[in-house]
Each structure stands twice: as C-alpha cells, then as structure tokens.
Amino acid sequence: MKGTPSPQPNLRRLNYIVAVADYGSISNAAGRLHVSQPAISAAIKDCEHAFGFRIFMRNPAQGVSVTPNGRAFVSRAKRLLEDAREFQAQAMGMSTVPTGRLEVRCLTTLAPVIMPTLIEGLGEDYPDISIQLHEGDLGEVIDLLKSGVVEVAITYDIYRDPAVVFRNLLKVTPHACLSARDPLATQPSVSLAQLAERDMVALDFPATDDYILNLFRQKGLEPNVRYRTKSAEMMRSLIGAGAGFSIFMFRPISDRAFDDSPLVHLPIRGRLPQTRVVLASARQLIATRIVDAFSAECEKRISQGNILKQFVVNPA
C-alpha cells in the first residue's frame, strides 16, 4: 500500500524556515513575520519530514541552530525565494532591486576601518538591504562561516580553511606603532631587530598573534611580549604610555591614543609578507542577489575605490 505523500515545501514554508535561520529562534521569526509560532513549527516539521533530515537543532534555552544539511537547505531556499520575488516583480513591471537581510562577520580590528563606509555605500546603492554585523577574531570568523551563522565575512587571508572561499580585495603590509617619545620615532623606518629589543604589546587573538610573532621568528628573532589585550584602543593607549610597541596592518587617521598621547606609525625595513584583506564565504554557499550586491560593493569601494589608502602605511 502506498504511503501518504509528504507535504511539499511551498514558498510560505520556505520563508518561515529562512526567517528562523536568520533570527535564531522560532519566536523571533514569528514576531518578525507576524505569524504564530505553531505555524512556523509546523512548516519546519513538514519540510524535515518531506526531505528526511533535520534542518534545525532545538535548544529551549538558546533558540535553534542550523544543522549541516540545514545550511545547504537554507542557502538554496534563500535563492529560490529571491528568484520568486524577481519573477513576481518582473511580471508586474517592477524593478528587481535586492532586498533582505545579510549576516556579515568582520574581523574585530578591521571592522572600524571597513564596515562603516561599506554600510554607508550599501545603503546608498541598495537601501532595502539590511546588514546584521558580527565581529570576532580570525578563528571565530571562519567557524561562523562554516556553521552557516553568517553568509559572508571580511577578514585577512592568514587563516586558511578548505571549506572557505577567499576573494582578494586589498594587499596590506604590516607596520610598527610606537610612542612619539621613543627614540626610534624620529627614524623614517625601523627594523624588526630594533623592535625585538623593546617590549611589545600584542593583540590577544591566537591566529593574529601567531602571524605577528612569526614575522620575527622567520628572521631568527623573538619579541618580548609584555602585554596582551583584545582591544586595539588599549594597545594604542599602552603604546602611548611607553609600555612598548606593536604591529598593525592599518592606522587610524588620528596619531593620538585614547588619552591623547602622541603615536607614530613607521614602515618596517626589509622584505615582509603582504597580507590580503579578503571577502570570505563558505564553499557550499549558494550566493543570493544580496550576497552578490555586497560583494560588488566590496569590490567597488575597497579594490577599485581604494577607500582604505588613508589607513595604510606604505612599505619602506
């Protein structure tokens, strides 16, 4: 005897599931969509039954998390929903401007340099796209991409993973930041050997820390790390107070620490590896028009527009 056919995932059910993935819980999605929680729960159950796998893992205290199969499902559902909206808009003679919410992760130290301008530019070109911004260190950025929590990320290419695709945006070279009172501050550039004789203030992010320390170790040097902090502003304040030097990729416009102590940013002599600012996405991601629009904005403002040139210290 034939069994009862499984309910098929119509666009309404797909919309409910995408909302749960975007907002992290059934209750949040219900509030955003102005529908009942049981209706969304039923849609999830129907689709999971139809496809034979779990889309979400339920945790009463923490909402829901998307399963590996669910990430692929949600990615395809987003593209299908966008295609449906475009078809409707074209049928009605309307424009097809991308609209919706995009989850973006950015490296903590990059975010204040890059994201404000990107968000401003995206708002001008695509006013109906909403950016949900997350910050974190290199490892967190990659983990959230792979888990499907965020769709795209802006980071450095110094933490590679085969499950993540990197699109080059800009090359940068590390430079030294010192107190203006440091005798080296009067030089046009400094060497790693000179810096290794001083105390260092390090950024307390594992992958970033490894990259910076390796700059010295490749030259047979070992820096004396005296302080570690997760805050770039704290680094600058400690440097301004004479606690040591540090290595940065970008410099603020102001050459003052938080307490108004004067700082200098100097190129480092010798051949140093260049680092790339990249747009990263999970290899399994099916790009939506919103992702395509964000990628185009990154290319336009970072790669072509070179909005970051004022924050870069050129090599010696």
Q: Which amino acid is at 2?
A: K
For the ranges 21-35, 56-70, 190-204, 216-230, which has the lowest average pLDDT? 56-70
The three-state secondary structure class of 284 is: coil
Domains of the chain as residue ranges with CATH: 1-96 (1.10.10.10), 99-171+276-311 (3.40.190.10), 174-273 (3.40.190.10)
Beta carbons within 8 Å of 239's beta carbon, 6+ residues apart: 177, 178, 179, 201, 245, 246, 257, 261, 263
> Model confidence over 134-151: pLDDT tens digits?
888 888 888 888 777 788
The distance in angstroms from the start CA to the end CA of the chain is 79
For the ranges 63-77, 104-118, 178-192, which has the lowest average pLDDT? 63-77
Beta carbons within 8 Å of 123's beta carbon, 6+ residues apart: none
Indicate whether 182 pLDDT > 70.
Answer: yes
Contacts 24+ apart (CB under 8 A), 80-87: 80/11, 80/14, 81/11, 81/14, 81/15, 81/18, 82/288, 82/289, 82/290, 84/11, 86/289
- Please indicate, yes or no, whether the overall pTM of this predicted structure exceeds 0.75: no
* Mean pLDDT, rounded, for 163-172: 91
Q: Which amino acid is at 17?
A: I
Residue 265: name the closest of 188, 203, 160, 209 by CA: 188
pLDDT at position 179: 96
Residue 113: name the closest of 273, 308, 316, 306 by CA: 308
Q: Where do runs of H (alpha helix) occur along 109-265? A: 111-125, 138-147, 192-196, 206-217, 232-240
pLDDT at position 3: 46
Distance CA(60)–CA(248), nearest Å, equals 42
% residues pLDDT > 90 (the chain): 31
> Model confidence over 184-234: pLDDT tens digits?
999 999 999 999 999 999 988 888 888 899 999 999 999 999 999 988 899
Query: What mean pLDDT, rounded, does the chain reach?
Result: 86
29: its two tokens: 């999605």
Answer whether 251's CB lies under 8 Å from 110's CB: no
% residues pLDDT > 70 (the chain): 92
Distance CA(57)–CA(69), nearest Å, equals 11
Answer whether 223's CB lies under 8 Å from 195's CB: yes
Which pLDDT band, with edges at 50, 70 and 90, does 48 fall under? confident
pLDDT at position 176: 96
* Mean pLDDT, rounded, for 111-126: 88
Cα–Cα distances in angstroms (integers) from residue 98 to residues 125, 212, 293, 301, in the given order: 10, 40, 7, 19
